[in-house]
Structure 1
C-alpha cells in the first residue's frame, strides 16, 4: 500500500464518513474507507480503481458531483496544481475538514502553508516519511475555473506563431521544454496520414504537425486529464482539429499509424518511472503500419536506441544537442 495511505489509516476513525480522496493512489485504501469516493486525473489509476471499486471512482479535472463532508488531497508534484485542487476542495467544504497528505521529500511541509488561506492548519501525524495535515475550512473560497489558471504563450515557428495553452500540473507548464524544442526543429519530411502525439502534454507537437500537414489525422494521447484539457485548448486556440484521448500508455493508442511522434515521459510525481516510455518503444511495431515511422526525442543518457532497434529493426540518430537526441525508425 502507498505509504501516504498507510499514514491515513493510522487515523482511520477520522475518515469513516462521506469522504473525497483527491489524487487517490491505485491501492486498497477505498476498501478500508467504505464511504469514500476517489477522484483521480491519472487514466491508469482510474482503470485500476474502477476495476476494484466500481462506481466510487471519478476521473477528470474537476471535483466530482458527489456529496462529501471532508476531503483529503494526496499532494501532487506541482505546486500550482496543488493550489488549484485545494481551492476546488475547500470551495465545497464550508465548515468541513480538509486534509493534506504527502511525502516529506515531495514538499509537504511547504505545501501545508497553503492551508492557511482556509483556517488554522495543524499537523496530525508524521510517519513513513510522510506527513498528514488538517484544517477546518472556516474561510471557504470561491471555486476558480481551471481555465483561469492557464498559462498562454506563443512559439515562433518557421510557418508562423503557434499559440500554446498550458494548465497546472502539465509537463513543462507555461514554457517549452528543451527536448520538444529540439524535436520541433526536426519535423521535416514526416509521413502524412494517421499521426499519434504520444504523451502530448499541452499539445505542442500534435498542433504543430496538424498545422504543417493539414491532411493528416492527428490523435493526441496522454495519461493525465489536465494534459488532455490543455491539448484541447491549444488546438482550439490555433483553429485546429484533432482527436484527444486519455489513456494509460501506448496500449490505448489506435493501430495502423503512419507516424508516432513523442517526447516520451519518464517521471511520475517525484519518482522516476520509465515504463510508459519503454512500452512505447517495445510495442511501437504493433501500432505502426508497414513503412510507418517513429520519431522521438529523449535525454541522451537514456538507452532507448537498443529498444527501438529490437522493436523495429532499425534506428538512426537524426540530431543531438543540449543533452537530447532525436531518434528515427521505420517499421519494415
Structure 2
C-alpha cells in the first residue's frame, strides 16, 4: 500500500461515501474505500485500476461527471498542476471537504498553502513521511478552463516557425528543454514508414516529424493525459495530424515502426526512474521493422550505449552538447 494511502486509512471514517480520489496510486485504496471513485491522469496506473476496479476510475484532464461529496488530491509534482487540480475540485465542492495528501519531501506543506484560496487549511495527520490536510470549501471558484492556462511559444526552425502549446504539469512547461533542442537538429534521413515519438510531452518532436515527413504516419505516445492534451493542442496550432496514444511504456506502441525517436522520461512524480527508458532500449527491436532505427537524446552520464548495442545493434553518437548526447542504432 502506498504510504499516502496508509495515511488516509488512518482516518478512514472521514472517507466514507462518494469520495473522489484524484491522482490516486494504483494500490488497493479503492478496495478499502468501496464507495469512492478514482480520477487518474497516468495511463499505467489507470490501466491497473480499471482492471482491478472496473468502472470506478476515470482517465483524463478533467474530473469525472459523477457526483462526489468530498475529494482527496494526491499531490502532483508541479505547483501549476496542483493549482489547476485544486480549483477543478473546489469548483465541484461548495461547502464540502477537500483534502490534500502528499509526501513531505514532495512539498506537501508548501502545497497546503494553495488550499487557502478556498478555505482554512488544517493538518489532520502526519505519518509515513506524509501529511494529510483538509479544508471546507467556503468559496467555490468557477471551474477552470484548462486550455486558458496553457503557455505558448514559437520555435524558429529551418522550415519555418513551429507553435508549441504546453499545459500545467507537462515536462518543460513553457519552454524548450536543451535535450529536445539538440535532438531537433538531428532528425534528418529517417527511414520511410511509420514513426513514433516516445514520451511525446508537449508534442514538439512529433509535430516536427509530421511536418518534415508528411507522408509518414506519426504516432505520439505518452503516459500522461496532460501531455497528450498538450500534444493535441500543438498539432492543432500547426495544422498537423498524428496518432495520439495513452500508454505506460513502449509495449503500448504499434508494431512495424520505421523509427522510434525519443527524449525519454526519467521521472515518476518526484522520484528519478529510468525504468521506462531502459525498457524502451530493451524492447525497441520488437516494434521496429528490419533496419528500423532508434534515435534518442539522453544525459551524457547515462550508460545507454551498452544497453542499445546489447538489444538493438551498433550504437553511433551523432552529436554531443549541453550535457546531452544523440544516439542512433538500427535493428539488426
TM-score normalised by the shorter chain: which range applies?
over 0.9
Q: For 2:209 and 2:90, how far apart are their aligned partners in 1?
A: 40
Question: What does 1:199-210 align with in structure 2 at a 5 Å threshold?
Answer: 199-210=199-210
Match of 1:81 in 2: 81
1:243-275 residue CA offsets vs partner (Å, 9 max, x unmatched): 111011100000000010000001011101111
Match of 1:270 in 2: 270
Question: What does 1:185-200 align with in structure 2 at a 5 Å threshold?
Answer: 185-200=185-200
Question: What does 1:1-332 align with in structure 2 at a 5 Å threshold?
Answer: 1-332=1-332
1:9 shift after superposition? 0.6
1:212 shift after superposition? 1.1
1:304 shift after superposition? 0.9
Structure 1 runs of 4+ with >4 Å offset: none
3-state SS, counterpart of residue 144 of structure 1: coil
Which deviates further from its counterpart, 115-124 or 71-80? Answer: 115-124
Q: For 1:119 and 1:323, how far apart are their aligned partners in 2?
A: 45
3-state SS, counterpart of residue 120 of structure 1: coil
1:312 shift after superposition? 1.1
1:91 shift after superposition? 0.2
Q: For 2:105 and 2:192, how far apart are their aligned partners in 1?
A: 45
Q: For 1:240 and 1:192, how far apart are their aligned partners in 2?
A: 18
1:52 shift after superposition? 0.9
Aligned length: 332
Q: For 2:80 and 2:160, how far apart are their aligned partners in 1?
A: 30
1:313 shift after superposition? 2.1
3-state SS, counterpart of residue 285 of structure 2: helix
Which deviates further from its counterpart, 181-190 or 86-95? Answer: 181-190
1:15 shift after superposition? 0.2
1:290 shift after superposition? 0.3
Q: For 2:72 and 2:236, how far apart are their aligned partners in 1?
A: 34
3-state SS, counterpart of residue 114 of structure 1: helix
3-state SS, counterpart of residue 14 of structure 2: helix
1:189 shift after superposition? 1.4
3-state SS, counterpart of residue 221 of structure 1: strand
Q: For 1:136 and 1:223, how far apart are their aligned partners in 2?
A: 32
Q: For 1:309 and 1:146, how far apart are their aligned partners in 2?
A: 43
Which deviates further from its counterpart, 232-241 or 183-192? Answer: 183-192
1:192 shift after superposition? 2.2
3-state SS, counterpart of residue 254 of structure 1: coil
